[in-house]
């Protein structure tokens, strides 16, 4: 009998975590083989590897402990990949040579699959003097464009999708440009952005006082703090970015505040890290530990939780020794501090099994109690490891115990650390678990509420056809198995029905016992007022959160998948839908309207002329064909090929805007060019930009960067999508989960 609780779980395992040979032949015949591979790899560093392999296997069995995706997919494969999820790169020097050294390090890290974070506050602002070259600085955002291009290059070379976080201090002179950067829909698409908000700034906001923007000891501007705060809030309200990181709180609560300073986080925000900081992630599946669910005796088994946490800590500590690292500085940092990030998934499902309503005071209290139990077990397990293997090299007992988070820890744990030391500097974090939660049977993700109790997904069959299957939340399926079609009780709430402050209450309750941070999205209704929206961030600050990420669906950000407590029926056809999919190419009318654009590539003798002709269908204008011409004969073959291929795609119909994204992702290894203040990585990318601007002008897409790769089978003619389309599988099932747009069908995530 299959260990998988749902068909989607087995499909995710096969796509993402199952070890396969280079020719695609499966090496892991079953999920048990995957568990055995991981357990064996992590036990190899133990003196009694056979004993620990068995114990590690028992933790992995039945999806009780879920190492993060890089561990699950990479451990025991002998592949040159890192098992670490998160990196913050070195401090960027304020010099051209230093900046590009950092760019190289970022590329090498992303090539091995690591998500990275950078603080760009260290680069002098735009217009500042550059001594010795008689020029003004271009500012940090111009270099962020270069990083963005690098990330696209890594993607186009076949590596996993890149994920980057860029932070900037709230007192940097370019902070206003940073806040507005992603309002240009074609800019910085590879980055998540977050503002580093300080305690003095929050005090100035509340007092409506002045705020100085400074760099290198010089005051460049003085603004009203509340005006700057409103700009952050307005950008987030309208565009879902930037996020907010309460950086002073992070440093005040840091266990290693005596030997490091933090200025950035990993892409999803759950790991604030110092320069070259690295962290690996894993999650305890709380939904698997509840006994007697949906009865008066329902409880989370405390002994099972304690035992599982202790095994998980040992496994993750072993990853530090078993993993490869992209850079020697990252290896040195990881082994000096042995940071791990053990978190949870299935929290909302576990609460439902106990009859608790996510977001209310009782659920928050239970969450806090569970997170404290996990923290105690993790810290005591790490003390035991220190007794056996030694504490982390930078451990200094009194300095460690004097830090903010350790001041909140129970006296017996503090005394054990004082006596024996501790193996890992940090132990807890709540990471995004979107894909691994699907793999574990569609349990609720991280500490998020259940997003949808059930929805339908289209599944590609071996013969090319598509069938529909129902995907049901783990706890809801358990309810159905026990009670049949009995209505769900009132305490079954989901992300769409919760008040935003209920989300904040849960995040704050969990943060109290998490020594790193939490990846969490606070879903806000589209019609929330701007004042109420700001109140969410103020409440997050006032209740002890280390950061805040919200998502408000609107015309700019797109709506997310919303479904009712039971599976939705397909929506009625919208006769005015703009996208129509065709099975046969259209015949060409005798005459078409179009436009011709001139593209002058720097260094090239001859311009390229691009003609795009359109056809009108159902009152809507859509691209039909492209002609690309140049007098430069070196361009002849590829311009002809591109003309024919793109025209063929256009004539098939559908949401062909993916052509734009594919062209814009092409990079010339000889280097791109700066055109009108923007870095363009290749001539093909420039052509993609021309086509994109034409599609915007004719109303085929909403704006630059809005094109999405879709699948012509993903929706029937006339349907209107219920959510943004997935760039991987084409399903209209993208939703914001834990700070990342994630596909409910295939598990694709911007953040990896």
Q: Return the CATH number at 3.
A: 3.20.70.20
C-alpha 94/C-alpha 18 separation (Å) is 44
C-alpha 340/C-alpha 520 separation (Å) is 19
Q: Which of 268, 524, 545, 751 is catalytic?
A: 268
* Whether residue 91 is found in the same domain as residue 79: no
* Whether residue 361 is found in the same domain as residue 487: yes
Cα angle, residue 565 at apex, residues 562 and 570 outer, rounded to 5°: 55
**Does residue 664 sit within a domain?**
yes
Q: Which residues contact 485 (CB under 8 A, 6 or more apart)?
A: none
**Does residue 438 sit within a domain?**
yes
Using CA atoms, how far residue 248 sits from 168, 242, 252, in Å, is 13, 18, 6
Is the backbone peptide bond immediately before 493 cis, with ω within 30 degrees of 0? no
C-alpha 574/C-alpha 98 separation (Å) is 55
DSSP track, 254-322: -TTTTT----EE-TTSS-EE-TT-EEEEEEEEGGGSEESTTSTT-EE-HHHHHHHHHHHHHHHHHHHHH
* Whether residue 135 is found in the same domain as residue 170: yes
Q: Which residues contact 41 (CB under 8 A, 6 or more apart)?
A: 75, 76, 322
Cα Rg of the chain (Å, integer): 26
Show the domain range for 688. Answer: 593-697
Q: Respond yes or no: is residue 740 known to be catalytic.
A: no
What three-state secondary structure class fits 713? coil
The predicted structure's pLDDT at residue 719: 34
**Does residue 173 sit within a domain?**
yes
* Whether residue 477 is found in the same domain as residue 362: yes
What three-state secondary structure class fits 615? strand
Which of 434, 460, 495 is the endpoint of a domain? 495
CA dihedral 727, 732, 736, 739 (to 10 degrees): -10
**Does residue 734 sit within a domain?**
no
What three-state secondary structure class fits 6? coil
Strand partners, 679: 674
Look up residue 117 and give its DSSP letter.
Answer: E
- Do 664 and 685 touch, CB atoms closer than 8 A? yes
pLDDT one-digit tens code per residue, 262-280: 999 999 999 999 999 998 9
* Whether residue 220 is found in the same domain as residue 324: no
Number of Cβ within 10 Å of residue 229's Cβ equals 25
**Does residue 120 sit within a domain?**
yes
C-alpha 344/C-alpha 64 separation (Å) is 10
What three-state secondary structure class fits 399? helix
* Whether residue 142 is found in the same domain as residue 109: yes
* Whether residue 66 is found in the same domain as residue 135: no
C-alpha 732/C-alpha 562 separation (Å) is 11
How many domains in the chain? 3
Q: Which of 53, 241, 260, 270 is catalytic?
A: 270
* Whether residue 225 is found in the same domain as residue 159: yes
All residue ranges of the chain with pLDDT < 50 are 157-159, 560-583, 706-721
Q: Respond yes or no: is residue 192 known to be catalytic.
A: no
CA dihedral 284, 35, 330, 418 (to 10 degrees): 50
Which of 697, 724, 739 is the endpoint of a domain? 697
The predicted structure's pLDDT at residue 289: 98
C-alpha 151/C-alpha 681 separation (Å) is 11
**Does residue 182 sit within a domain?**
yes
* Whether residue 122 is found in the same domain as residue 136: yes
**Does residue 560 sit within a domain?**
no
Q: Respond yes or no: is residue 746 known to be catalytic.
A: no
DSSP track, 442-481: SPPPTTPPPS-SEEEEEEE-TTS-EEEEEEE-HHHHHHHH
C-alpha 105/C-alpha 154 separation (Å) is 13
**Does residue 28 sit within a domain?**
yes
Chain centre to alpha carbon of residue 273 = 16
Strand partners, 594: 613
Q: Can you give the pTM of this predicted structure?
A: 0.80
Longest pairwise C-alpha distance within the chain? 87
C-alpha 198/C-alpha 246 separation (Å) is 6
C-alpha 354/C-alpha 10 separation (Å) is 27
- Do 580 and 617 touch, CB atoms closer than 8 A? yes
The predicted structure's pLDDT at residue 150: 87
DSSP track, 170-205: TTSTTHHHHHHGGGSTTS-TTEEEEEEE-HHHHHHH
The predicted structure's pLDDT at residue 562: 41
pLDDT one-digit tens code per residue, 297-346: 999 999 999 999 999 999 999 999 999 999 999 999 999 999 999 999 99
* Whether residue 426 is found in the same domain as residue 285: yes
Q: Which of 266, 285, 424, 613 is catalytic?
A: 266
* Whether residue 249 is found in the same domain as residue 282: no
* Whether residue 249 is found in the same domain as residue 312: no
The predicted structure's pLDDT at residue 206: 97
What's the chain's length in residues? 752
């Amino acid at each position: 009998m299959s260990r998988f609780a749902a068909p989607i779980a087995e499909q995710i395992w096969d796509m993402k975590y199952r070890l396969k040979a280079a020719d695609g032949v499966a090496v892991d015949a079953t999920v048990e083989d995957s568990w055995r591979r991981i357990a064996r790899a992590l036990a190899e560093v133990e003196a009694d590897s056979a004993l620990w392999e068995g114990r590690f296997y028992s933790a992995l069995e039945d999806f009780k402990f879920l190492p993060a995706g890089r561990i699950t997919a990479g451990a025991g494969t002998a592949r040159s990949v890192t098992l670490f999820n998160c990196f913050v790169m070195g401090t960027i020097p304020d010099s051209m040579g230093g900046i590009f050294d950092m760019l190289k390090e970022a590329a090498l890290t992303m090539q091995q699959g690591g998500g990275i974070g950078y603080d760009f506050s260290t680069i002098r602002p735009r217009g500042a003097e550059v001594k010795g070259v008689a020029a003004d600085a271009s500012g940090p955002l111009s270099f962020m464009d270069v990083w963005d291009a690098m990330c696209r290059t890594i993607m186009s070379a076949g590596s996993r999708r890149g994920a980057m976080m860029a932070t900037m201090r709230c007192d940097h002179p370019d902070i206003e440009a940073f806040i507005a950067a992603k309002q240009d829909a074609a800019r910085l698409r590879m980055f998540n952005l977050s503002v580093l908000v300080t305690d003095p700034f929050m005090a100035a906001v509340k007092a409506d006082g002045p705020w100085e923007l400074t760099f290198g000891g010089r005051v460049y501007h003085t603004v009203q703090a509340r005006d700057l705060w409103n700009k952050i809030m307005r950008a987030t309200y309208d565009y879902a970015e930037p996020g907010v990181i309460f950086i002073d709180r992070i440093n005040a609560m840091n266990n290693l505040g005596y030997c490091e300073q933090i200025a950035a986080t990993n892409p999803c925000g759950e790991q604030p890290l110092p320069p070259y900081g690295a962290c690996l992630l894993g999650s305890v599946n709380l939904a698997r530990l509840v006994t007697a669910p949906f009865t008066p005796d329902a409880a989370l088994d405390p002994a099972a939780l304690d035992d599982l946490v202790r095994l998980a800590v040992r496994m993750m500590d072993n990853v530090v020794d078993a993993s490869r690292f992209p850079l020697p500085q990252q290896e040195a940092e990881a082994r000096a501090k042995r940071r791990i990030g053990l978190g949870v998934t299935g929290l909302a499902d576990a609460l439902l099994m106990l009859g608790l309503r996510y977001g209310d005071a009782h659920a928050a209290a239970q969450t806090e109690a569970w997170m404290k139990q996990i923290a105690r077990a993790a810290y005591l397990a790490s003390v035991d490891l220190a007794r056996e293997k030694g504490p982390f090299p930078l451990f200094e007992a009194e300095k460690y115990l004097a830090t903010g988070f350790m001041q909140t820890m129970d006296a017996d744990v503090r005394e054990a650390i004082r006596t024996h030391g501790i193996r890992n500097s940090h132990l807890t974090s709540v990471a995004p678990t979107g894909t691994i939660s699907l793999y574990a049977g569609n349990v609720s993700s991280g500490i998020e509420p259940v997003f949808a109790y059930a929805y339908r997904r289209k599944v590609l069959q071996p013969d090319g056809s598509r069938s529909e299957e129902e995907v049901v939340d783990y706890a809801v399926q358990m309810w159905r198995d026990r009670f049949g079609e009995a209505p769900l009780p009132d305490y079954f709430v989901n992300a769409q029905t919760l008040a935003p402050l209920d989300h904040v209450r849960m995040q704050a309750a969990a943060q109290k016992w998490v020594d790193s941070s939490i990846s969490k999205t606070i879903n806000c209704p589209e019609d929330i007022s701007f004042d109420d929206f700001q109140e969410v961030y103020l409440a997050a600050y006032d209740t002890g959160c280390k950061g805040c990420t919200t998502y408000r669906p609107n015309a700019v950000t797109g709506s997310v998948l919303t479904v009712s407590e039971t599976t939705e029926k397909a929506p009625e056809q919208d006769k005015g839908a703009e996208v129509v999919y065709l099975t046969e190419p259209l015949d060409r009318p005798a005459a078409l309207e179009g436009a011709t654009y001139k593209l002058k590539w720097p260094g090239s003798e001859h311009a390229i002329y691009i003609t795009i002709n359109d056809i009108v269908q159902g009152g809507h204008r859509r691209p039909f064909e492209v002609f690309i011409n140049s007098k430069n004969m070196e361009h002849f073959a590829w311009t002809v090929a591109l003309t024919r291929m793109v025209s063929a795609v256009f004539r098939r119909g559908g949401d062909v805007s993916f052509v734009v994204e594919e062209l814009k992702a092409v990079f010339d290894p000889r280097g791109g060019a700066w055109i009108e203040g923007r870095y363009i990585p290749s001539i093909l990318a420039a052509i993609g930009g021309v086509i994109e601007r034409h599609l915007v002008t004719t109303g085929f897409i909403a704006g630059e960067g809005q094109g999405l790769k879709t699948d012509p089978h993903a929706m029937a003619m006339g349907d209107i999508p219920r959510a943004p389309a997935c760039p991987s599988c084409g399903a209209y099932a993208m939703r914001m989960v834990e700070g990342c747009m994630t596909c409910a069908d295939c598990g694709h995530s911007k953040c990896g």
